[in-house]
Structure 1
Amino acid sequence: MLEAGTLNRRVRIERRDQTQDDLGQPVDTWVEVATAWCNVRMLTGKETLAADADVASATASIRIRYRTDITNVMRAVVDGVIFNILAPLPDLASREYTDLACSAFANNG
C-alpha cells in the first residue's frame, strides 16, 4: 500500500508544445499536463567533461500515484529541478504507483 506520508513533494508534469512568436516563428514551450504528490529518490550522480566544461548529471526515480498517461517525451519539475523522464514504469500488478525513471542536470528537458 502506498502511504500518503511518503509522498512529500509536488511534481509538475509538462509536455513540449510549439507556439508562434510575434513574427510567426515557431517557439518551443512547456505546458503543464498534471501536478501530483511524489517521492523523489536520487539514485546516482556523476560529473563528466563535455565540450571542455564540467557537466553534472544524476539519475532519479520519482514515485507518484498510478497513472498511465505519462510518456518519455515529457518532463517532471520538482522544487525547481527539471527531470527528463526516461521511462514511466507503472505498477501493473497492484495499480498503486508509477515510477518515473529520470535523469537530471544534463539539460532542461
Structure 2
Amino acid sequence: MGQVNAGRLNQRITIEKKSTVRDDWGQEVEGWVPVHSRLPASIKTINGTGFVNQEFVAGDKEVSRATASFRIRYVEPVDAAMRVVHHRLPRYPDRIYEIKAVLPDEVAQEFIDLGCAVGANEG
C-alpha cells in the first residue's frame, strides 16, 4: 500500500519557492527559484474522473479553479508556501499549481502527495 511505482511517475515537475532574486537591471525583486528540478511524478485528479472544478467570484470576475494531486518520491524540503511547475508535452506550456497541502508518507518516507490547485492565480 502506498508504494511508489516508477512506471507511474510519467510526468515531470519542478518545485519552486518564492525568494528575492536580481532582475536584468540588478534590482532585487520577488521571484520563484527551483528547489527540486524535473522530479518524476504522477498526477491524479482529486475525484478520480476529472478535475474538481470550482467557480467563484473574485473581485468582479468569475474565476475557475481545479484541484489535483502529485505523487513524488520522498524529498525535503517541501512545504505549502512552494509551488509546482508541471512540465507538459513540448507543444503545451508549463502549468503552475499552488501547493495547498503536503502529505508525506510518515511511516516509510517513500513518497509525498502534494495537494494542489490551479486556475485562480499564477501560483
- Aligned residue-pair number: 108
Partner deviation per Cα, 1:21-74 (whole Å, 9 max, x = no partner): 4374x4111111112010111222112222222211112111000123101111
Identity %: 37
Alpha carbons 1:68, 1:90 under 8 Å: kept:
no
Q: Does 1:41 align with 2:49?
A: no
Q: Does 1:101 align with 2:103?
A: no
Normalising by structure 1, report the TM-score.
0.88
Q: What is aligned with 2:20?
A: 18
Q: 1:88 to 1:52 in 2, by over 3 A?
A: same
Q: What is aligned with 2:49?
A: none
Deviates more, 1:13-22 or 1:70-79: 13-22
> Once the 2 structures are TM-superposed, how far is the Cα of residue 12 of structure 1 from its aligned partner?
0.6
Let me know the Cα RMSD of the aligned residues: 1.6
Q: Does 1:56 align with 2:64?
A: yes
- Tell me which amino acid in the other structure corresponds to 2:58: A
Normalising by structure 2, report the TM-score.
0.79
- Paired with 2:85 and 2:26, the residues of 1 have a C-alpha distance of 30
Query: Once superposed, which parts of structure 1, at least 4 consecutive aligned residues long, lie more than 4 Å away?
Result: none
- Paired with 1:19 and 1:95, the residues of 2 have a C-alpha distance of 32
- Paired with 2:75 and 2:22, the residues of 1 have a C-alpha distance of 31
Normalized per residue, which structure has more strand?
A: 1
- Paired with 1:23 and 1:33, the residues of 2 have a C-alpha distance of 22
Q: Does 1:81 align with 2:83?
A: no
Alpha carbons 1:13, 1:75 under 8 Å: kept:
yes
Gaps of 5+ in 1: none
